[in-house]
Amino acid sequence: MGSLGGVPLSRIEFVVRCRKTPVDPKQFLDGIDQDAHVEFIPGMIINALFIANGHRQDVSLHLVLEKTQDYSRVLTFDGEHLGNLGGFTEAALLASCASALSEGRGLGKEEGLTAGNGITVTAKSFERLMDELMQDSPAYLLDPKGEALSTIAPIESGVFVLTDQLAMPKNAQKGLVRKGCKLISLGKRVLFASQCISLIHGATAQD
């Protein structure tokens, strides 16, 4: 999180852990309607970053793709430096992700680059990413047993942690809580990650 004259800037970060999403570009695109369910990713991108006639410059979305034979890849969409993603269709957004993954082939541990379409690709684990983000901002993990988001809104800045169709492993959740991550709830119904992102936006100071 940056600052202006020593005053922290308001910023929202979304982290989505995608445990079955392939890092390989071809396998990524082949993951539509398969276990990876990559067809859910475009909705996350749109709901996190885009608004009518523009996009949110104070928001970042980090997709942690974990199905790989070497290192997980983090795809980061930074609203302040958003590139041309080719449009808002599912096909265009998935192609942009695959293109970034292709440029990120062969990255060593902790290495990263910014692809031509503006997506940053980093060979980094979920745990390492969270350690970095939690240094500067409070973190919140969605859990049905957590405190209702409405009771702590509006939120000026924060890191919001979600998963795809797989629940967060219990050991990982306990580890995040030990590090200071707060459990929050959006209700009893299980929602898509993209829907959760929209509801979280409504509880932030920006909205």
- Looking at residue 22, what is its pLDDT? 96
Q: Do the Cβ atoms of 199 and 149 come closer than 8 Å?
A: yes
Q: Dump strand ranges (E) for 125-190.
A: 139-148, 158-163, 182-185
In a domain, 207, yes or no: no
Segment 148-196, tens digit of pLDDT: 999 988 988 999 999 988 889 999 999 999 999 999 999 988 899 999 9
- CATH code, domain with 84: 3.40.1280.10
Give me the phi and psi of 145, to 5 degrees please. Answer: -95, 5
Confidence of residue 112 (pLDDT cuts 50, 70, 90): very high
For residue 150, which of 161, 140, 138, 162 has the smallest C-alpha distance? 140
Mean pLDDT of all residues in 117-126: 97
Identity of the amino acid at 3: S
Element (H, E) at 95: helix 90-103
Contact 143, 189 (CB under 8 A): no
Q: Looking at the domain assignment, is residue 47 inside a domain?
A: yes
Domain range for 76? 3-202
Mean pLDDT of 89-108: 96
User: pLDDT at position 5, please?
Assistant: 37
- Backbone φ and ψ for 72, nearest 5 degrees, come out as -60, 155
Number of domains in the chain: 1
Nearest alpha carbon to residue 109 among 133, 94, 127, 95: 127
Q: Which amino acid is at 63?
A: L
**Would 23 be classed as within a structural domain?**
yes
pLDDT number for residue 4: 35
Structure tokens at 140: 């919140």
Tell me: pLDDT of 6 over 80.
no
* pLDDT at residue 1 is higher than 90: no
Give the pLDDT confidence of 32-78 residue by residue, as tens digits: 888 888 999 999 999 999 998 888 999 999 999 999 999 999 999 99
- In sequence order, the 6+-apart residues with CB closer than 8 A to the CB of 135 are none
207: pLDDT strictly greater than 80: no
User: What's the whole-model pTM score?
Assistant: 0.93
Q: Indicate whether 126 belongs to any domain.
A: yes
Confidence tier at 7 by pLDDT (50, 70, 90): very low
In a domain, 9, yes or no: yes
pLDDT tier, 9 (very low <50, low <70, confident <90, very high otherwise): low
* Average pLDDT along the chain: 91
By three-state DSSP, how is residue 110 classified?
coil
pLDDT reading at 197 higher than 60: yes
| Structure-model confidence comparison of residues 76 and 204, the more confident one | 76
Q: What is the pLDDT confidence band of residue 2, given thresholds at 50, 70 and 90? A: very low
Does a structural domain hold residue 121? yes
Q: For residue 93, is it within any domain?
A: yes
Flag whether 20 is in a domain.
yes
Measured distance CA(120)–CA(97) in Å, rounded:
10
